[in-house]
Amino acid sequence: MSETAEQSIYAQENLLARLDRIPFNRKIFFLTCLLGIVWLLEAFDIGIIAPVLFLLKSTWQLAPKQVGLVASAGTLGIVIGLLPAGRLADRFGRKTTLLAGIVIFSVVTFLASFSQNVEQLVICRFVAGLGQGAVFPVPYLLLSEFVGKRWRGTAVGLSNAMLGFSYGLNTLIGALIVGKVPDAEAWRILLILGGCTIFIVPILIKYLPESPRFLLKAGRIDVVRKFVEGLEDVSSLAHDTSLIDKSSLQVLEATAHRRVSLGDFLKPPYLARCIISYASLLSPFIVFYVITIYGPTIIARMGATKADALYYTSALLFFTVITTAAAGLAGDKISRRAGLTVIMTLAGLGAIALGQSLSQIGTIFAAMVVWGLVYAAFPLAKLYMAEQFPTRLRATGSMIGESITRFLTGVILVYYFPTLQADFSSSTVFAFLGVLTVIAIVPIALFGVQTSGLSVEQTGTDITKLQTQS
């Protein structure tokens, strides 16, 4: 290796070591909140289909298969959009991919408000999903790549908490307009509001930085140095050009000239990491899509009125803000692996209980367990997944995982769920969901590794000796 190349690697590791030591200061908090707003707006757009579908079922007299088609169309778009988006994010940047996705899903959601039939609505939701697929995993990547190793989980948890708030918000809006605006107009209003997410784009262009780790791979060391020094100034830290994390330096030196490709996901150790991390993400998704899209319907079948079903569902979603933020902090302080195992085991048991004939208090408690823990699992599962891959494969690996898990749950399961409800008892359906949830968490419980407190260079490397030392 030439002297110039060695100096470049040393400079990169110095910046990464300095980035990892920076505390959770006000600038990082601002960026975390900004990405939280992105999640809030996208989740609002995705979750808007729940109250829209709830209102459209009677307005358009939808059959179960039509309900399933409308409900799953957006997720199918997400699944397809995720795959090229991962490569685009690894090649052209996380921020560029994020902005393009927001523009697409905002414009198409607005256009969906003019749909005259099921077919038009399904097409609009599918195309909007393509844009959403380019957006959803990017905040996880950005937070994992510019927040220090001691605070990654906390930052993701705080930002991810906005998802539950957003899903609760659109459900609450649906509750507020039920009875005041005719159902035939109310669902259109909701979709128009979903299209307003495009107004965040100018703010992101101005204030959201590109991932420093991506910029280093692109050779833009000066830009990263300016970003790191800005964070250090906020925390009154010296610009220590001698600071080095020897473990991360080993990774950079060993992989400096290594070429990566999609084929790496089929080779050790990344194949095993894919299976374990994708299964851990599949676990919360099994119940997530059901309670997010059909939540008001589930609550209504337990005896609530149309308005009350929306109010109760929104309350449950607002509750997830607390559990999600707490889970992110616990993942940093304890373990993402242990946290996921405990959270999803309890969530699976809660899902089984939710299908039983319980008292009103019992039903409320079971619903709080399911909603609260399923949402709480996502910052742990998605961050754990992002930590399994090197920078040049991180977006691709994460988006493949999102695509596979969302296809199995958000497309196939969501499409057939109305039919399952019609053909089987609630106890059977929810027992099925609960058992699948627990089974999917077994791989990480048995074979997962600890990632809390380590840099993403260490967790994403395939250098086994280094991982053992860490």
**Residue 445: its pLDDT value, please?**
96
Task: Locate 244 and state its tokens.
Answer: 């080095």
CA distances from 419 to 64, 123, 367, 405, 439 (A): 6, 22, 22, 21, 23
Instruction: Report the amino acid identity of residue 205.
Output: I
Region of 350 (left: φ > 0; alpha: ψ -120 to 50; beta: rest) is alpha
Count the Cβ atoms, other than its own, within 10 Å of residue 275.
13
Task: Locate 469 and state its tokens.
Answer: 């030392």
Q: Cα 297 to the chain's mean position, in Å? A: 24
Those residues whose C-beta lies under 8 Å from the C-beta of residue 446, and which sit 6 or more positions away, are none
> What is the C-alpha separation between 435 and 351, in angstroms, rounded?
9
Domains (range + CATH), the chain: 7-237+263-449 (1.20.1250.20)
Q: What is the pLDDT along the chain (470 residues), one digit of tens a residue?
A: 555 667 788 888 899 889 989 998 999 989 988 988 887 888 788 778 878 888 888 889 888 889 889 888 988 898 898 888 888 888 889 999 999 999 999 999 999 999 999 999 999 999 999 999 888 778 878 888 888 888 888 888 888 787 778 878 877 877 787 767 887 888 899 899 889 989 999 999 999 999 998 999 888 999 999 999 999 999 999 999 988 877 776 776 666 566 777 788 989 999 999 999 999 999 999 999 888 777 877 777 767 777 788 888 889 989 999 999 999 988 888 889 999 999 999 999 999 998 888 887 888 899 999 999 999 999 999 899 989 998 888 888 998 998 899 899 988 998 888 888 888 988 999 999 999 999 999 999 999 998 888 888 788 888 754 444 44
Count the Cβ atoms, other than its own, within 10 Å of residue 295.
27
Task: Locate 171 and state its tokens.
Answer: 């459900």
Q: For tokens 């997830």, name the residue.
A: 320
Task: Locate 139 and state its tokens.
Answer: 């905040």
> What is the C-alpha separation between 222 and 384, in angstroms, rounded?
29
Contact between 161 and 321 (Cβ < 8 Å): yes
How is residue 180 annotated by DSSP?
T
The residues pairing with 181 across neighbouring beta strands, listed in sequence order, are 178
Cis check for the bond before 64: say yes or no (omega within 30 of 0).
no
**Residue 55: its pLDDT value, please?**
83
**Residue 255: its pLDDT value, please?**
63
What does residue 114 show for φ and ψ, rounded to 5 degrees? Answer: -95, 10
Q: For tokens 């039919």, name the residue.
A: 419
Contact between 444 and 337 (Cβ < 8 Å): yes
**Residue 462: its pLDDT value, please?**
80
**Residue 466: its pLDDT value, please?**
44
Contact between 328 and 153 (Cβ < 8 Å): yes
Q: What is the DSSP string of 73-86?
A: HHHHHHHHHHHHHH
Q: What is the DSSP string of 288-355?
A: HHHHHHHHHHHHHTTT--HHHHHHHHHHHHHHHHHHHHHHHHHHHHT-HHHHHHHHHHHHHHHHHHHT
Q: Find the Cα–Cα–Cα–Cα dihedral 366, 303, 288, 156, rounded to 10°.
A: -70
How is residue 181 annotated by DSSP?
B
- Pick the closest to residue 12 from 259, 253, 254 (CA basis): 253
**Residue 1: its pLDDT value, please?**
53
Count the Cβ atoms, other than its own, within 10 Å of residue 337.
21
- Pick the closest to residue 134 from 164, 91, 105 (CA basis): 105
Q: For tokens 């899902």, name the residue.
A: 351
**Residue 467: its pLDDT value, please?**
46
> What is the C-alpha separation between 259 and 154, in angstroms, rounded?
33
